[in-house]
Amino acid sequence: MTTLAEAGRALALESARYAALGWMRGTAGNLSVVLEHDPLRLAVTVSGRDKGELTDDDVVVVDATGATTDPVKVPSAEAGLHGRIASVSGAGAVVHVHAFAPVVAAEYWPGGVELRDLEMLKGFGRAAHDDLVTIPVIPNGQDMRVLGDAFEAGYRSDTPALLVARHGIYVWGEDLRQARHRLECLEWLLRFAVETKRGVA
């Protein structure tokens, strides 16, 4: 089981990595690590902090709905969606960034972004050939219960990612490392789709 201190260190390091890539500009984006599954408890990055400058202490514990009992720290506004994703998928970590290509891809293909026959799909956990991968897209909104319902309605266990239109991308995995690798590969794939106008039948 991951301790809160361990989660804080890991989340600060990952946030700095994504900020350096330009995927967490300003205070945008949020990351989480599951501390325990039953009942579900997650360590989530706090709201309103520069993601390139987080410290080990810039995390807060939330439940499956994104609620916290911490009287001081404010969790990310999207903590409830992190909780829903972890609950449904069984993931150990969820990352949400505002990389540009995924947002553009969701704009081009609001019904879902189709990818196939690309070697980088193996890094996302799918086959490089003869495997149609559709990354779901849901409308943006401020009610995390509504977004959670939309996510769950289109959830597939073999597609660990979600695009929120005009907002950003969520990717998850067994831990932060796996989630990062999946995100890096998927960002490349979506950038390829956008730049070549491929990825749609």
Confidence of residue 198 (pLDDT cuts 50, 70, 90): low
Number of domains in the chain: 1
Domain-embedded: residue 201:
no
DSSP assignment of the chain equals ---HHHHHHHHHHHHHHHHHTTSS-TT--EEEEEEEETTEEEEEEBTTS-TTS--TT-EEEE-TTS----SS--B-TTHHHHHHHHHHH--SEEEEE--HHHHHHHHH-TT-EEE-S-GGGGGGTS-SSS--EEE-EE---S-HHHHHHHHHHT--TT--EEEETTTEEEEEESSHHHHHHHHHHHHHHHHHHHHHT-S--
The mean per-residue pLDDT over the stretch 151-179 comes to: 97
- Average model confidence (pLDDT) for the chain? 95
Tens-place pLDDT, residues 39-58: 999 999 999 999 999 999 99
Look at residue 95 and tell me whether its pLDDT is greater than 60: yes
pLDDT at position 120: 96
CATH number at residue 158: 3.40.225.10
Domain-embedded: residue 82:
yes
Query: Which residue segment(s) compose the domain that 75 sits in?
Result: 4-196
Task: Quote the pTM value.
Answer: 0.95
